[in-house]
Structure 1
Amino acid sequence: MRKVLIVLVLLAGLAGLVAWILSAPTRMGAGELAALKPGDPVRGEQVFWAGGCSACHAAKGAEGEGKFRLGGGLRLKTPFGVFVPPNISTSQRDGIGAWSLADFANALTHGTSPDGRNYYPAFPYTSYARMSGQDLGDLFAFLKTLPAVEGKAPGHDLGFPFNFRRGLGLWKRLYLDPAPVVARPDGLVEAGLALFDRGRYLVEGPGHCGECHTTRDAFGGPVLTAWLGGAAAPDGEGRIPNITPAGKDIATWSVTDIAYYLESGFTPDYDTVGGDMVHVQENIARLPASDREAIAAYLKAVPPVADPAR
């Protein structure tokens, strides 16, 4: 019996060591780092709006120039606890003013902080992992032009085991994948392919639409077989709609209808955008018309997901 116990203890220790190694935060490799270039803040502002940075990192209800004050502090309620977006302003002490471009890119694409901690996926790095090196550089350059906001945001309010960050390294091995979610449809001509590719990049990457519109499994990972098929609201109030071609809310909408909704906030039957989607629509309205058309074309081309039975 003593030998059995010793073997069990050794196996448990080995399993713990393996889990510790596999859960280590990851960073960009040499090739990815080489693709990072000093960015253009003018282009970076477009990435800023596509990524919806102000929706989480600015003060609640911020308008106008207030959307550029990225001091964090919102409380995002989820089934796993309350997450609080941090200060990402140019403050050297409380924000990301002391970060390098590599620090910034590792945070967005690997969910790893400059001091080597795993970020929680309430920060949508599972989507940002699909961003190009150019867009990462441009966005960083734009953020560096914004005002410093002093004061750190409060910490997250999480219970055990969700307050154990190291375990997120294992979560990232399951769910962090920079590959596209939706394959190119057959039969598209060159112009159609370019439009689809741009829409796919915006929706699956900086736009991170799947983070809200895709249901999650018991571990909080997106269920890719139900991509964009709608999900329960994280705060438990209502449901985020299905935006695939089978979704009852937009099944009859054309590409033009979707693009116009993203520009104006009006549906084809003259209803208006509501809820948290207001912020998303306002941000996307700042993008070029060609980007809104690309998003609409992609949404009409994704595999349909049936609405859940009611």
Structure 2
Amino acid sequence: MRIHHDWKALPLDARGATVAMGNFDGIHLGHRSVIDAARAAADAPLGIITFEPHPREFFQSDAPDFRLMNAESRANRLARLGVEHLYELPFDTVLAGLAPADFAQQVLVEGLGVRHVTVGQDFCFGRKRSGNAQTLTQLGAELGFGVTIAPLIGDGEKQFSSTAIRKALAEGRMHDAEKMLGHFHRIDGEVLHGDKRGRDLGYPTANMAVTGLHLPRMGVYAVMIDVLTGDERGSYKGVANLGVRPMFGENVPNFETHIFDFKGDLYGQHVSVALVEFLRPELKFASLQELIDQMDRDSAQAREILAAR
């Protein structure tokens, strides 16, 4: 998949796609229906138009973290879905200030040369969200690109939404989140140097930042890991802790993954960690030995859960 960070001066082979447009935070089953509709709409390369930063981050920079995915995680998931072009447009004062007609003319037609655009029926765009799916349909007819409006979908009782997924994750209901997402919730990113306490305890970990993300319930998880770069590329199983490490007086959330039976060096490599099942909340232990004993139990439980995967 090719990633483009602007709509201007694109090469000819990056233009003329059939695109799905939206924020696609989480890429849940509702988003999948929009992407599938775009795939079916025209005989052209499949593209995604999205925005970075998320418009909500741009307009509400002091709001609590809400994103289910960082840009890397979203790109990884879209690549798995067979997307050929990801147009990750810079959401800034220029883009935010475009009227719907100007966005359609300057970005979609002159910039990207789209053949067809698919959006969800609740899609809004343009200055002050003044355009909607019907507006886009009218503009498409005037400017020469097709438009498909994909219906909202759900499980028969309620629509799939990022809000419902956030709630499930915050409560540790990973299976409910998986049903709405259509895949395991993942945390993707670079493996960073940490304080290496896990190594001293017999549980070396791959440490990752979770800055800017809506955090699942703090605690321990059975996980599956994809190492995406480096000599150790491949799929593994393990156990992870998301929390503030109360044993050591930390107060900044950290994500640490112990990969079973792994001896390699992952510093600087990029990994994708799937949170399969919540095991227990984060605890503070009276001694390091109590912590190690619990980690042994956590690992045994995670191995059992993941054995069938």
TM band (smaller chain): under 0.3
Which structure has more strand as a fraction of its residues?
2
Structure whose residues are more often helix by fraction: 1
Q: TM-score normalized by structure 1?
A: 0.24
What is the TM-score with the length of structure 2 in the denominator?
0.24
